């Protein structure tokens, strides 16, 4: 066992990743067939960069509890390919990989951000749209209606549709905020990993990310709806600029939420 | 929420939901789409999604009967066998009596079958790999053609033949050839085939051509088309020919041709046909001229105006011009009300108001504000009209203005017959490809007249025509008596009042009465404004060429039975209509034409493609559904750039914090770390 474990931890992780090839194959096919945005690659790349960054400091001996968890989850994910749909099976695989990384991380290193990034590496967006898209759209439409009413613009919501100034504007799937949520959580996980935010603190701050996304998307939607309800409508550039500005604001706030108090403790 | 049990429950629920993979859902048994939708061309070059390459109509008009041959050419330019489905229009009066399919040198004649039987034979032929064609009637003026197993490179010509009666209106003959089915608003269960449409202004890939010949006992004059540019030869002679001139898209609107006979005469009289088993007759009698009555009673007018999506733009502009003339021309003693309907309906006033200048101006202001949008719920609108209390001293006239793009014709007819009481209903069809079945059927059910207005310039003339009809019917209490022959199965069984302009048309069967062989005649009697009126029409010898009379009679009887069936709402007349269809070889709602090739031509399953129709001229995409703006998030690459920029800002922030010596950190809460 000891002889075997003398190999570099990164090699062990690569070996585990290789064992999860059926899931990688499925994720690759989901990216190629256009059924999901290929954002998972970005999360996977971020995960790889973080591991490589920590490589010199990885444990010589893995944490056996995490390692056992990684082995069990890897086996479970392989069995799951026989009885579960691909996404839940790949979710187990992502957790297995995260557990594998956690087993080699230096003592005192935050582990949950790695788990988060491993989950974000999955082709999640379409499924999130399918299951969470409509509630998010409803919430966005309702919050936007309140915001517009607050600033004196008469707005009514019917389902996920808004009527503003006699014009119907639909809050459809691409407006739900799922993409903003992915970006915000990606930012949060990466910052937490980079700053080695303690897991307990990270968990306490994580709900703020959801709240920021919901509020940010509602403001973005309200601004675009207000612009679109004008007789001149809204141009593509103004539409995109509003979206980019709100996403930038949300990411900046996520940065602040995740980083506050960290700077003093770890100044460089 | 904070309880561990609740958290576990939520986690399990989430896993259960994720586990119910939507990819496992099976929609193979889902019902086929109904109603119109926009055509989307496939990216697969192996499948030809636009197989109908051309439609050609060849029309021969002899006297008052038109024989029409439509040739649809299907060609498969893909590499896979296809089944083509195409929904296309026909004349409301059409008696479709033959279908044939030509593949290369082979000609396959179709046979008439009971509808379900035809479907079974077609499905079997399709599965076996034989080329087959199935022609079904969806509505009296809407047909669907299915052509199975068109192999790559095939040219399949499908020819259908129909006959119709051309009756003059105001001594002017009009032939109409519809080229496109307008997108119908289909409520659930209306049983109308889902059919793709091209976007407004998008040119059709299907070529269209039409040639027409008129053979008349009298010279033909004033040949003109209000819809298409035409070349006319032989005007002023007894044989005239018409060709389409334009090369611009011509299959997105009805082809309308009108002409007169020399001396403003009409080809009226009694026509006999002696068949092997049965004999048929057709009588056309010109009514007397309109006599202005001494006094005109005030009336109540209710205008029912369609403001749905299909009326958006040009059709609604035309309707507004028509209403300006109709409402503007009311007498001050008349009363009126206006109902606007689309998905919902609204009445301008609770009860009808006098036609004063102020009320008319107010009504026009409301109408002018409409821009057209939404669905076409005509049945609730008419139901509400039927429930309006009727003034005791006034006759009510209901005027419906619509393009007729609905699929609930039978429901509408039954509603009008049952509930409109003594009110007369006049239907105005607005647009370039009106649903004439609805407009004509509404008028028939409401004992009124149909009008078609294709452009604002026609509004004044049609308003004047309507006013004359409403002021005084030309003939009432009309009865027909036959001498010298025994007439039976006469259509219509009860002659309606003649409102003017249109001849009285009577069809039926006859038997010889040997005792009065030389004195066959029909006496038509009725009442006009200044007293009794009668006209005697003598019959010439039977015409052996008038074989079309039997089809025209059968079609008329089928229409009558269909009206009765619509009234009861069931399939009461199914057997009688099927029997007539099979006996006279006619396409009906219960009988279809089926042609099957005797050779098995392929073992590859055919891909089904639905041939799209162009959007009727003047109709916008709103007829199917306008795009509703939405507020999508920014492009993914832009969003990613923003997130990465935020991450890149992290070292800068930390450096700034370090440089400020922890001032920032001092302000931040530190308890978390």
What pLDDT score was predicted for residue A119? Answer: 95
Q: How confident is the model at residue B119 (pLDDT cuts 50, 70, 90)?
A: very high
Task: State mean pLDDT over A213-237.
Answer: 89
What pLDDT score was predicted for residue B104? Answer: 86
* Inter-chain CB proximity A260 and B668 less than 8 Å: yes
The reply to whether B518 touches chain A by the CB within 8 Å rule is: no
The reply to whether A75 touches chain B by the CB within 8 Å rule is: no
Pick from B179, B197, B85: nearest CA to B141: B179
| Other beta carbons less than 10 A from residue A154's beta carbon | 12
Per-residue pLDDT reduced to its tens digit, B538-590: 888 888 888 999 999 999 999 999 988 888 877 889 999 999 999 999 999 99
The reply to whether A177 touches chain B by the CB within 8 Å rule is: yes
- Check pLDDT > 70 for residue A98: yes
- Check pLDDT > 70 for residue B6: no
Q: Would you state the structure tokens that stand for residue B18, as one six-digit string?
A: 């994720």
Q: Which residues of B touch A171 (CB under 8 A)?
A: 630-631
State the DSSP code for B568. Answer: H
Provide CB contacts within 8 A for A1, sequence distance 6+: none
SS3 content of chain A, % helix, strand, coil (to 5): 75, 5, 20
| Least confident segment among A174-188, B1-15, B115-129 | B1-15
Q: In what order do the strands lie in the sheet with B111-114?
A: B111-114, B591-600, B130-139, B142-150, B82-89, B607-610
What pLDDT score was predicted for residue B9? Answer: 64
Residue in chain B closest to A178 (alpha carbons) equals B633
Per-residue pLDDT reduced to its tens digit, B151-199: 999 999 999 999 999 988 888 999 999 999 999 988 766 678 888 999 9
What pLDDT score was predicted for residue B579? Answer: 96
What pLDDT score was predicted for residue B188? Answer: 65
What pLDDT score was predicted for residue B56? Answer: 95
Task: State mean pLDDT over B427-453.
Answer: 92
Per-residue pLDDT reduced to its tens digit, B512-548: 765 555 678 889 888 877 788 888 888 888 888 889 9
* Inter-chain CB proximity A225 and B631 less than 8 Å: yes
Give the one of B17, B630, B646 whose C-beta lies nearest to A187's C-beta: B646
What pLDDT score was predicted for residue B514? Answer: 55
What pLDDT score was predicted for residue B118? Answer: 97
Per-residue pLDDT reduced to its tens digit, B644-656: 999 988 888 777 7
* Inter-chain CB proximity A228 and B629 less than 8 Å: yes
Q: At what angle do helices A125-150 and A178-194 cross, to 10 degrees?
A: 100
Give the one of B649, B658, B669 whose C-beta lies nearest to A260's C-beta: B669
Q: How confident is the model at residue A60 (pLDDT cuts 50, 70, 90)?
A: confident
On whether the CB atoms of residues B308 and B376 are closer than 8 A, the answer is yes
The reply to whether B626 touches chain A by the CB within 8 Å rule is: no
What pLDDT score was predicted for residue B28? Answer: 47
- Check pLDDT > 60 for residue B459: yes
* Inter-chain CB proximity A243 and B658 less than 8 Å: no
Q: How confident is the model at residue B666 (pLDDT cuts 50, 70, 90)?
A: very low
What pLDDT score was predicted for residue B270? Answer: 87
Task: State mean pLDDT over B414-425.
Answer: 82
What pLDDT score was predicted for residue B32? Answer: 58
* Inter-chain CB proximity A247 and B647 less than 8 Å: no
Q: Output the average pLDDT for chain B.
A: 86
- Longest distance between any two alpha carbons in chain A, whole Å: 75
What's chain A's Rg over C-alpha atoms? 21
Looking up tokens 């003047």 gives B618
CA angle at B493 for the pair B488 and B494, rounded to the nearest 5°:
140
| Other beta carbons less than 10 A from residue A238's beta carbon | 14
Residue in chain A closest to B15 (alpha carbons) equals A88
Per-residue pLDDT reduced to its tens digit, B630-643: 888 999 999 999 99
| Least confident segment among A137-141, B292-296, B562-566 | B292-296
On whether the CB atoms of residues B363 and B346 are closer than 8 A, the answer is no
Chosen from B14, B25, B633 to mutate, greatest number of chain A CBs within 10 A:
B633
- Check pLDDT > 50 for residue B204: yes
What pLDDT score was predicted for residue A4? Answer: 46
What pLDDT score was predicted for residue B538? Answer: 85
- Longest distance between any two alpha carbons in chain B, whole Å: 129
Q: Would you state the structure tokens that stand for residue B57, as one six-digit string?
A: 């109509």
| Least confident segment among B13-27, B438-452, B586-600 | B13-27
Rounded Cα distance, B138 and B437, in Å: 12
- Check pLDDT > 50 for residue B410: yes
| Least confident segment among A126-130, B13-17, B124-128 | B13-17
* Inter-chain CB proximity B18 and A88 less than 8 Å: yes
Q: How close, in Å, is residue A220 to chain B by CA atoms?
A: 8
The reply to whether B661 touches chain A by the CB within 8 Å rule is: no
Task: State mean pLDDT over A175-181.
Answer: 93
Rounded Cα distance, B555 and B558, in Å: 5
Rounded Cα distance, B249 and B205, in Å: 10
- Check pLDDT > 70 for residue B329: yes
* Inter-chain CB proximity B664 and A263 less than 8 Å: yes
- Check pLDDT > 70 for residue B134: yes
Give the one of B23, B647, B658 whose C-beta lies nearest to A187's C-beta: B647
- Check pLDDT > 60 for residue B670: no
Q: How confident is the model at residue B17 (pLDDT cuts 50, 70, 90)?
A: low
Q: Would you state the structure tokens that stand for residue B115, as one six-digit string?
A: 């509808």
Rounded Cα distance, B512 and B509, in Å: 10
State the DSSP code for B152. Answer: T
Q: Which of residues 9-28 of A touch B (CB under 8 A)?
A: none
The reply to whether A239 touches chain B by the CB within 8 Å rule is: yes
**DSSP calls for A108-160:** T---HHHHHHHHHTS--HHHHHHHHHHHHHHHHHHHHHHHHHHTT--EEEETT
Give the one of A37, A187, A198 whose C-beta lies nearest to B673's C-beta: A198
Per-residue pLDDT reduced to its tens digit, B240-250: 999 998 767 78
- Check pLDDT > 90 for residue B107: yes
What pLDDT score was predicted for residue B438? Answer: 95
Backbone phi, psi, residue B164, to 5°: -150, 160
Helix (H) or strand (E) holding B548: helix B548-568
The reply to whether B494 touches chain A by the CB within 8 Å rule is: no
Per-residue pLDDT reduced to its tens digit, B465-514: 888 888 777 788 888 988 888 899 998 888 888 887 788 899 999 987 65
Helix (H) or strand (E) holding B146: strand B142-150
Q: Which residues of B touch A235 (CB under 8 A)?
A: none
Counting one residue from A and one from B, how many pairs have CB atoms under 8 Å apart? 151
The reply to whether B19 touches chain A by the CB within 8 Å rule is: yes
- Check pLDDT > 70 for residue A7: no
Task: State mean pLDDT over A137-145.
Answer: 95
Chosen from A183, A184, A214, A242 to mutate, greatest number of chain B CBs within 10 A:
A183
The reply to whether B643 touches chain A by the CB within 8 Å rule is: yes
Half-sphere exposure of A243 (CA within 13 A, CB side): 29
The reply to whether B647 touches chain A by the CB within 8 Å rule is: yes
Q: How confident is the model at residue B23 (pLDDT cuts 50, 70, 90)?
A: very low
* Inter-chain CB proximity B640 and A42 less than 8 Å: yes
Percent of chain B scored above 90 by pLDDT?
A: 53
């Amino acid at each position: 066992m000891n002889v075997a474990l003398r190999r570099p931890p990164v090699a062990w992780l690569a070996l585990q990743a290789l064992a999860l090839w059926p899931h990688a194959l499925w994720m690759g096919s989901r990216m190629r067939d256009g059924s999901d945005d290929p954002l998972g690659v970005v999360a996977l790349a971020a995960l790889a960069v973080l591991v490589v960054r920590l490589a010199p400091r990885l444990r010589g001996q893995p944490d056996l509890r995490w390692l056992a968890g990684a082995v069990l989850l890897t086996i479970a994910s392989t069995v799951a390919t026989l009885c579960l749909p691909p996404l839940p099976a790949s979710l187990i695989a992502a957790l297995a990989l995260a557990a594998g990384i956690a087993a080699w991380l230096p003592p005192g290193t935050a582990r949950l951000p790695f788990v988060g990034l491993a989950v974000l590496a999955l082709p999640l967006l379409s499924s999130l749209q399918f299951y969470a898209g409509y509630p998010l759209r409803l919430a966005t439409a309702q919050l936007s209606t309140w915001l517009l009413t607050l600033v004196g613009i008469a707005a009514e919501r019917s389902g996920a549709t808004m009527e503003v100034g006699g014009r119907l504007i639909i809050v459809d799937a691409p407006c739900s905020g799922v993409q903003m949520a992915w970006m915000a959580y990606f930012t949060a996980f990466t910052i937490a990993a980079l700053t080695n935010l303690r897991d307990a603190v990270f968990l306490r701050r994580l709900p703020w990310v959801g709240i920021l996304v919901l509020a940010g998307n509602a403001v973005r939607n309200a601004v675009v709806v207000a612009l679109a309800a004008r007789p001149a409508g809204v141009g593509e550039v103004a539409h995109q600029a509003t979206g980019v500005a709100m996403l930038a604001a949300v990411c900046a706030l996520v940065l602040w939420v995740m980083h506050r108090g960290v700077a003093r403790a770890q100044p460089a | 929420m904070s309880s561990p049990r609740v958290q576990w429950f939520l986690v399990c629920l989430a896993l259960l939901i994720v586990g119910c993979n939507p990819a496992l859902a099976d929609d193979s048994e889902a019902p086929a789409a109904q109603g119109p939708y926009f055509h989307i061309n496939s990216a697969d070059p192996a499948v030809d999604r636009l197989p109908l390459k051309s439609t050609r109509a060849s029309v021969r008009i002899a006297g008052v009967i038109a024989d029409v041959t439509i040739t649809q050419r299907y060609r498969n330019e893909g590499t896979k066998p296809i089944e083509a489905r195409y929904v296309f229009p026909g004349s409301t009066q059409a008696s479709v009596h033959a279908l044939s399919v030509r593949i290369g040198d082979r000609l396959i004649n179709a046979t008439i079958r009971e509808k379900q039987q035809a479907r079974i034979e077609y499905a079997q032929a399709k599965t076996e790999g034989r080329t087959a064609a199935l022609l079904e009637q969806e509505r009296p003026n809407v047909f669907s053609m299915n052509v199975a197993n068109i192999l790559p490179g095939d040219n399949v010509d499908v020819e259908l033949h129909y006959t119709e009666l051309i009756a003059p209106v105001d001594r002017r003959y009009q032939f109409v050839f519809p080229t496109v089915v307008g997108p119908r608003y289909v409520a659930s269960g209306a049983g109308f085939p889902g059919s793709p449409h091209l976007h407004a202004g998008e040119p059709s890939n299907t070529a269209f051509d039409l040639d027409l010949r008129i053979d008349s006992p009298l010279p033909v004059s004033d040949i003109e088309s209000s819809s298409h540019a035409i070349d006319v030869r032989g005007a002023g002679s007894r044989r005239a020919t018409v060709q389409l001139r334009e090369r611009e898209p011509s299959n997105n609107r009805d082809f309308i041709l009108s002409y007169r006979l020399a001396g403003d005469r009409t080809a009226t009289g009694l026509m006999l046909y002696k068949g092997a088993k049965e004999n048929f007759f057709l009588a056309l009698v010109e009514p007397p001229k309109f006599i202005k009555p001494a006094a005109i009673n005030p009336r109540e007018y209710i205008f029912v105006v369609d403001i749905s999506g299909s009326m958006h733009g040009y059709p609604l502009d035309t309707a507004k011009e028509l209403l300006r003339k109709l409402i503007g021309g009311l007498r001050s003693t008349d009363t009126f009300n206006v109902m606007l309907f689309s998905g919902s309906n609204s009445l301008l006033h609770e009860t009808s108001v006098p036609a004063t200048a102020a009320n008319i101006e107010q009504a026009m202001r409301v109408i002018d504000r409409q821009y057209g949008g939404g669905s076409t719920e005509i049945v609730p609108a008419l139901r509400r009209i039927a429930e309006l209390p009727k003034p005791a001293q006034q006759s009510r006239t209901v005027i419906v203005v619509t393009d007729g793009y609905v699929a609930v014709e039978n429901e509408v007819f039954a509603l009008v017959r049952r509930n409109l009481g003594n009110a007369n209903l006049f239907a105005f069809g607005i647009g370039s490809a009106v649903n004439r079945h609805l407009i004509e059927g509404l008028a028939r059910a409401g004992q009124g007249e149909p009008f078609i207005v294709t452009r604002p310039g026609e509004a004044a003339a049609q308003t004047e025509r309507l006013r004359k009809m409403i002021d005084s019917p030309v003939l009432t209490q009309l009865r027909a008596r036959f001498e010298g022959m025994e007439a039976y199965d006469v259509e219509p069984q009860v002659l309606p009042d003649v409102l003017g302009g249109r001849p009285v048309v009577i069809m039926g069967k006859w038997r010889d009465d040997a005792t009065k062989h030389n004195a066959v005649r029909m006496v038509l009697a009725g009442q006009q404004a200044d007293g009794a009126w009668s006209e005697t029409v003598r019959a010439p010898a039977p015409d052996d060429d008038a074989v079309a009379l039997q089809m025209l009679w059968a079609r008329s009887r089928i229409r009558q039975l269909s009206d009765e069936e619509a009234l009861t709402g069931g399939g009461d007349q199914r057997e009688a209509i099927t029997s007539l269809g099979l006996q006279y070889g006619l396409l009906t709602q219960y009988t279809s034409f089926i042609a099957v090739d005797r050779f098995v031509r392929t073992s590859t399953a055919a891909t089904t493609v639905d041939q799209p129709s162009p959007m009727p001229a003047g109709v916008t995409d709103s007829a199917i559904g306008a795009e509703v703006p939405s507020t999508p998030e920014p492009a993914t690459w832009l969003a990613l750039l923003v997130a990465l920029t935020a991450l890149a800002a992290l070292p800068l922030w930390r450096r700034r914090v370090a440089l400020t010596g922890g001032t920032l950190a001092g302000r931040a809460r530190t308890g978390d770390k």
